[in-house]
Structure 1
Amino acid sequence: MKRIDFLRKSFGSLGALAVATPLLASCKEDEVIADATTTTPTTGGVDTSVTPSSCSVTNSETAGPFPTLQPATLVKKDITSDRKGTPLTINIVIRNVNNSCNILANAIVDIWHCDAAGEYSEYGGSGMQSTNYTSVHFLRGRQTTDSTGVAAFTSIYPGWYSGRAPHIHVHIYNASGTSLLVTQIAFPEAVSGVVYAQGVYASHGQADTKNANDNVFSDGVSTEMSTVTGSTTAGYVLTHTIYVKG
């Protein structure tokens, strides 16, 4: 069965809730929050001091077929593990639509994405993913937003797989562990083109799906497009603001 068949929004809307609820219930809220807060990194230069005059909730998207199975156990800033690729610093800003677009501190942010070959950890061995990565954990992690509303991660530039444009999955909870939003982060195609032409990405080639042709991004990427700066030699920095009803 093709991977894209699992990415229809009707499936994802139900799947995200079905997966997220029992997983969070499986661990005590105070333990999850305490652990995440302990490892929240400094963000190094993300200016969140200017509050937008108006804002709307970022588009909700499918969690996809590969959500993190036990996110509370993966509280870490550096989610690279043994994966090779162009370095990527990820700075995610969370703002609260219900509080005049102000930043939301102490929000729990889970992210996950595929490696340079388009494969995810925690899954595999049949059908949609050829390599069995069921017992390993890479390119997945949880952080809590700091006093400036930023959750920061160290990773590699995501690869791609057939039928999808490059993306990062994000699931955001409030400080009490209540789900606020499941969404995805899109990438500028010009940057992806440069990355995929070199290094460990080159053998996989260029992405076969543009943002405009991606089924998940069929509602547009105006609220999901990231800002990416840097180079293949120095590494890239991704900055993206996500708006939730906190």
Structure 2
Amino acid sequence: MNTLPAQLPPDDDDAQIGSIYSRRRALKLFGIGTLLAGGAALAGGGGPGGAGPMNPMGTSAGTTGVTGLPGCVVRPEQTQGPYWVDEKLNRRDIRADGKTGAVKAGVPLTLDFVVSRVSTSGCQPRADVMVDIWHCDALGVYSDATDPGYSTKGQNFLRGYQRTDAGGKVSFSTIFPGWYAGRAVHIHYRLRTLDGSGKVTSDFASQLFFPETLIDQVHATAPYKSKGKRDTLNATDQIYKNGGSQMLLTTTGTVASGLHATFDVGLNLG
């Protein structure tokens, strides 16, 4: 079992980044339909060159883009954590290790992102956004990492990126994540935009969470159950406490047949 270091590094998962605003407060500050392009300062990571993720109204499974702007909910930026590695793996299915070909076992999870551009004229699909995801396997192990109890340097399972299509969408095939000491169950994601030369012009990282009842159902199956009972719930996770409810995924499907989730996120970027 992994243990937390006595003193956490600056980029560890216990640090929250940015400001969090509820939908009601965001609407009060901006007014319905008058969200300014300069409103990035209100979202996590706001500021010069920062990305301000927001959740367009009408989020639901199967959404392919949101038009109109009755109001947007600010998504909080959260730490990228100590396990971020820019593997530059452009792939939809992230379950396998690129070197060995071994596929990680676990409950199948299809995770869709729908990325929109937020402006005064509305929320429109945002193409060509680089979306990375990474997370631990069913037993709490990350690839390409050295941690108490394991070293997976050179491996790249459960990591990858895609660029959004004309509808602002990407879809990943992965597995439901396991747990490790001190953290609730989560998936990391990163959104980046690039200029014509490939230079990153905006960069936003945060985390996704799951309902406790669903986690219990998944973790009662193999191979998750061999890890034992998790030590941290959403309610006791330091990251979840700071805006995690705005990152809580709603899934369809079943544990037996596989799960599906769609996450809508808007960027007030050019």
TM-score tier (shorter): 0.7 to 0.9
Match of 1:104 in 2: 126
Aligned to 2:92: 77
Which of 11, 14, 20 does residue 8 from structure 1 map onto? 14
Decide whether aligned partners of structure 1 residues 105 and 88 sit closer, same or farther in structure 2, where only a CA change above 3 A counts: same
Q: Which runs of 5 or more residues in structure 1 are unaligned?
A: 18-44
Shift of 1:242: 2.0
AA aligned opposite 1:138: F
Aligned to 2:23: none
2:132–2:161 contact (8 Å) kept in structure 1:
yes
| More strand per residue | 2
Greater Cα radius of gyration, structure 1 or 2: 2
For the Cα contact (< 8 Å) 2:65–2:124, is it kept in 1? no
Distance (Å, rounded) in 2 between the aligned partners of 1:231 and 1:173: 32
Asked whether the equivalents of residues 63 and 262 of structure 2 are also in contact (C-alpha less than 8 Å), the reply is: no
Within-5 A mapping of 1:53-202: 53-68=70-85, 70-72=86-88, 74-81=89-96, 82-98=103-119, 100-124=122-146, 128-176=147-195, 177-202=200-225
Q: Whole-Å Cα distance in 1 between the matches of residues 214 and 265 of structure 2?
A: 21
Using the alignment, how far apart are the partners of 2:210 and 2:267 within structure 1?
A: 20
Q: Distance in 2 between matches of 1:149 and 1:85?
A: 28
Number of corresponding residues = 210
Give the Cα separation in 1 of the matches to 2:231 and 2:164.
34
Shift of residue 49, structure 1, vs aligned partner: 4.5
Q: Which residue of 1 aligns with 2:58?
A: none
Task: Provide the secondary structure at the position in 2 that maps to 1:192.
Answer: helix
Deviations 1:3-51 (A, max 9, x none): 59332316x78xxx9xxxxxxxxxxxxxxxxxxxxxxxxxxx8332443
* Structure-2 change in CA distance of 1:49 and 1:110 (3 Å): closer
Q: Distance in 1 between matches of 2:226 and 2:172?
A: 26
For structure 2, the residue ranges without an aligned partner over 5 or more in a row are: 19-44, 46-60, 97-102
> Structure 1 residues 228 and 207, CA, compared in 2 at 3 Å: closer, same or farther?
farther
On the 8 A contact 1:110/1:140 being kept in 2, the answer is yes
Match of 2:64 among 13, 23, 48: 48
Q: Identity of counterpart residues, as a percentage?
A: 35
Deviation of 1:163 (Å): 1.2
RMSD: 2.2
In 1: Cα distance, 2:148 partner to 2:265 partner: 29
List, as ranges, runs of 4+ consecutive aligned residues in structure 1 with deviation greater than 4 Å. Answer: none
Q: Which residue does 1:41 correspond to in 2?
A: none
The structure-2 alpha-carbon separation of the partners of 1:240 and 1:183, relative to structure 1 and needing over 3 Å to count, comes to same
> How far does the alpha carbon of each residue in 1:131-188 deviate from its partner, in whole angstroms, 9 at most, with x for none?
1100111000000111221111100101111111111111101142323311111111
Letter paired with 2:106? G
Structure 1 range deviating more: 138-147 or 97-106: 97-106
State TM-score, norm by structure 2.
0.71
